Structure 1
Amino acid sequence: MGSDVRLTQSEQELAESLPHGIRLGAAWSWRLLLIGALIAVAIFLVVQLRLIVIPVLVAVLLSALLVPLVSFLVKHKWPRGLSIAVAMLGMLAVVSGLLVLVITQIARNSSALSERAVESFESIKEALLNSPLQLTETQINGYLQQLLDAIQQDSQIFISGALSFGSSLGHFLAGMLITLFATLFMLIDGKGIWGWVVRIFPRRARAAVDGAGKVGWATLGNFVKVQILVASIDAVGIGLGAALLQVPLAIPIAVLVFLGSFIPIVGAVATGAVAVAIALVYNGWPIALAMLGVVLLVQQIEGHVLQPLIMGTAVKVHPLAVVLVVAAGSMLAGIPGALFAVPVAAVLNVMVHYISSGVWKHTPAPPLPPQGSPLWSTVPQARPGYRTDAAVAPSPSSP
């Protein structure tokens, strides 16, 4: 016993002999390492289960988009089942219509584009021959042959990609089904699902989790609505500019810009570059420069007007943080990571701020579910002492 006391005292003396900064840094270090390990494990699990996680995340975004429409129809005396059906079928009709329109436009202009691409290649080749670079036709053909050789050396990648097309198509179709079913169930019984998620946590933590989910869901809904507005303005501006300049595939360009705008900054730059490239191939340098001016003008309006005034009020994330988060998401999970990076960061930001503020300490925790209740059942609304405004956060089924 005495040796244990002496050992404890010696350890205490050793700790006190260290500078305060060293002790503070060590205390922070092991905690940060533990948090980093937990985050790394979570990211690893998400990557391994991406075929399920990505469709579910898409379903959450779609639910945040469709909830206002369902709530509007319910408030106007529509049956809830009919409201959900109209919202789902309307979404499918819009997406299908856009796909049919894009495919029709591409099929109609494919032959003209291929002929124009050959003409543009010949003109570029002629310009290189007459340029100060003093390139000869043999050198240009040699460079092209090197490019073809590089493609042939990497042909195994294309062959494996072609062989895996069937499995990739199957994964895509399975992901679509998961997305549709998850969206449907979130609209039907979102309150029950959220109540079950809250009850997973210890009772003392439920008020914090419930309130954090509440503010997170509100932020996600604002993000989706505002992002659709911003993407629509970008698509209309660039698509209208392409149509006025008589650039082919103006409608597919507008749809591409609309989809790309959901990836902040990076998506707008990439889709704008595609529009300029099509104008360069089909219409030549003057129209391509004019198309570049249209893209830059629309991007300036978005960056200096729409993002600060509209997006800034909905998603309180600094533009530098947006760039870094999108870059990190694309490195970890490619296009899906870049797509979900900003909404995930925005939701986590408000949830962490809510929990750290301590407001949830004055909110009662949701009660335990009754014995034998089904897993996805909703929390009974008439239980004594139950507060619906504090126990369950707004969910896709909340009117």
Structure 2
Amino acid sequence: MPTSDIAPPPTSEALAEARWQAGLRSVQQRLRAGRDRTPLVLPDFGDQHEEETPADADQAVPYWLRLAGAWGWRFLVLAAVGWVLLSLAARLAQVLVPLAIALLLAALLSPAVQVLRHRLRLPASLATALVLFGGVLGAVGLVTLLVTQLIDGTPELSENASAGLQQIREWLRTGPLHLSTHQLDTAVDAGAAWVRDNRQNLTSGLFATAGASFQILVTAMLILVVTFFFLRDGRRLWHLAMIAVPRRARRPVLEAGNAGWLTLVAYVRATVIVAFIDALGIGLALVLLRVEFAFVLAALVFLASFIPILGATVSGAVAVLVALVDQGPVTAVIVLAAVILVQQLEGHVLQPLIMGRAVSIHPLAVIVALAAGVAIAGIVGALVAVPIVAVLNTALRHLMQGRQPAPDAVVVSADPTP
């Protein structure tokens, strides 16, 4: 039989079309007969012409890829929002930093204002003015005392520094390095030449510092004015700010803000106590060892302790350096041991005992907050970064848990200012 007489096998399209025609004829016959009481259901002709639905397309994507995509776009949104907020904070640093410092001062002085208002029955404006004036007067007196001690002790420290430099020079000549006099003189001449070459830059830097002093004065006045209104009208201002919050969320946000304020007051008070103990311990060691500028260095330790981790390290290094220049290496080693002892006492005893769990922050969060604060506003940013994180931590936990602060929270005043 010739091969050309054999019919080719039907294709899948032809079979599907034949099945469709057969099914259609069967349905038409049943409709004409009028005996069909069952729902009209077309026969299954295969899935050759079915389109893929979106659900099927989602199921075709692996689960881990869909999960990663869902997390990814949400992370990108949060990162974009954080970048916008940090950019705005950096641009408005000259306004936000004074406000943050004023808020810290208000948290520090609010217990005294509450005592004058509630126990002595003084008007709000008078009580706030008295506390603020007393704080400014104490700060000015402290600065005057520090400057006086610096002026009185600078000549003696300069002589000790010159003697120390001479000892270092002799050690470089007779020590293991065996540097010659010509090499030392060349190094000294190079340093003097650098000073001469950069005299203009140094002078312009002094003028820039003088120009910045006026800005510092204006910023200080702004801080005082804002602190006054925070102390006198803090609660009223906080209630007015609730107008921008939806009605259903006003009460939770108000309670979260009060909890955050109590945390800020507790944090500032605890930080002052810890800083005073640090300054007292290191200052006593400096006084007993008769190191020059003992009171100034103790004040530096007190102020630097408001910056966690970095402040205590830097102020302790300055104290050791001054002791090295003034009294020699043996005294410097003793001062270093005293600084390490005080810092260990602070980290393992004072911080957990005074701060408590209510205002405790993980060290990693402290480091990240310090880095962000320094990047945005320098030293002042490092000063206010950790308190802001502590307040946000408490407020957000209060909002999410829907309850009052933990029982071990340090409540300074029953009537917080904001």
TM-score of the superposed pair, with normalisation by structure 1 = 0.84
Q: Separation in 2 of the partners of 1:158 and 1:321?
A: 38
Segment drifting more, 107-116 vs 80-89: 80-89
Match of residue 25 from structure 1: 68
The one of 374, 382, 395 equivalent to 1:351 is: 395
Matched, 1:290 2:334: yes
Which residue of structure 1 lines up, in the alignment, with residue 88 of structure 2? 45
Q: How does 1:193-212 map to 2 (within 5 A)?
A: 193-212=237-256
Structure 1 window deviating more from structure 2 (80-89 vs 144-153): it is: 144-153
Between 10-19 and 302-311, the greater mean CA deviation after superposition: 10-19
1:133 corresponds to: 177
The alpha carbon displacement at 1:193 in A equals 1.1
- Residue 160 of structure 1 and its aligned partner are, at CA, apart by 4.2
Question: Is the 1:272–1:295 contact (alpha carbons within 8 Å) kept by the matching residues of 2?
Answer: yes
Q: 1:199 to 1:145 in 2, by over 3 A?
A: farther
Letter in structure 2 aligned against 1:353: R
In 2, the alpha carbon distance for the partners of 1:394 and 1:144 equals 63
Distance 1:167 1:206, change over 3 A: farther
Aligned to 1:225: 269
Paired letter, 1:277:
L
What are the residue-to-residue correspondences of 1:326-341 with 2, within 5 Å?
326-341=370-385
* Separation (CA, whole Å) in 2 of partners of 1:10 and 1:250: 79
* Residue of structure 2 in register with 1:366 after alignment: none
Out of 147, 150, 164, the residue aligned to residue 120 of structure 1 is 164
SS class of match (1:133): coil
User: What amino acid maps onto 2:153 in structure 1?
Assistant: N
Report if the CA contact (8 A) 1:56-1:179 is conserved: yes
Query: Match for 2:218 among 164, 174, 184?
Result: 174
Offset at residue 20 of structure 1 (A): 2.3
Contact between 1:194 and 1:395, CA under 8 Å: does it hold in 2? no
Q: Aligned with 1:248: secondary structure?
A: coil
CA RMSD of aligned residues (A): 2.2
Q: Is the 8 A contact 1:268 1:299 kept in 2?
A: yes
Evaluate the alpha carbon distance shift between residue 353 and residue 148 of structure 1 in structure 2; reply closer, same or farther with a 3 A threshold.
farther
The equivalences for 1:78-117 within 5 A come to: 78-80=121-123, 81-117=125-161
- 1:229: how far off? 0.1
**How far 1:314 sits from its partner (Å)?**
4.4
CA contact (8 A) 1:238 1:254 kept: yes
Check whether the contact 1:226–1:314 (CA below 8 A) recurs between aligned residues. Answer: no
Separation in 1, partners of 2:138, 2:314: 24
Question: Any residues of structure 2 matched to 1:368-383 within 5 Å, and which?
Answer: none
Is 1:71 the counterpart of 2:114 in the alignment? Answer: yes
Residue 332 and residue 141 in structure 1: after superposition, are their counterparts in 2 closer, same or farther (change >3 A)?
farther
> Is the 1:326–1:342 contact (alpha carbons within 8 Å) kept by the matching residues of 2?
yes
Secondary structure of 2:306's match? coil
SS of equivalent to 2:177: coil
Verify the 8 A CA contact 1:52 1:178 in the aligned structure 2: no
Paired position in structure 2 for 1:275: 319
Q: 1:203: Cα distance to partner?
A: 2.4
Inter-partner Cα distance in structure 1 for 2:219 and 2:163: 41
* Structure 2 contact 278–342 (Cα < 8 Å) conserved: yes
* Pairing partner for 2:187 from 143, 152, 171: 143
> What is the CA–CA distance in structure 2 between the aligned matches of 1:192 and 1:146, rounded to whole Å?
63
Q: Percent identity?
A: 40
Structure 1 residue 143, shift from structure 2 partner: 3.3
- Indicate how the Cα distance of structure 1 residues 135 and 90 shifts in structure 2: closer, same or farther if over 3 A, else same: same
8 Å contact 2:282–2:338 — kept in the other structure?
Answer: yes
Letter in 2 for 1:38: V
Deviation sequence 1:167-203 (CA, Å, 0-9, x none): 3112211110110000101111112211122211222
Distance 1:79 1:291 in 2: 47
- Please give the per-residue CA displacement for 1:319-370, whole angstroms capped at 9, x wherever unaligned: 333233323322333211211121111111112212222449xxxxxxxxxx
Deviation at 1:166, TM superposition (A): 4.0
Q: 1:234–1:302: 8 Å Cα contact kept in structure 2?
A: yes
* Alpha carbons 1:191, 1:394 under 8 Å: kept: no
Offset at residue 311 of structure 1 (A)? 2.2
What's 1:396 paired with?
A: 417
Structure 2: stretches of 5+ with no match in the other structure? 1-50, 405-413
- The answer to which of 286-295 and 11-20 deviates more is 11-20
| Structure label with greater radius of gyration | 2
Shift of residue 317, structure 1, vs aligned partner: 0.7
Q: State the Cα distance separating 1:395 from its structure 2 match.
A: 4.7
**Structure 1 residues 133 and 258, CA gap change in structure 2 (3 angstroms):** same
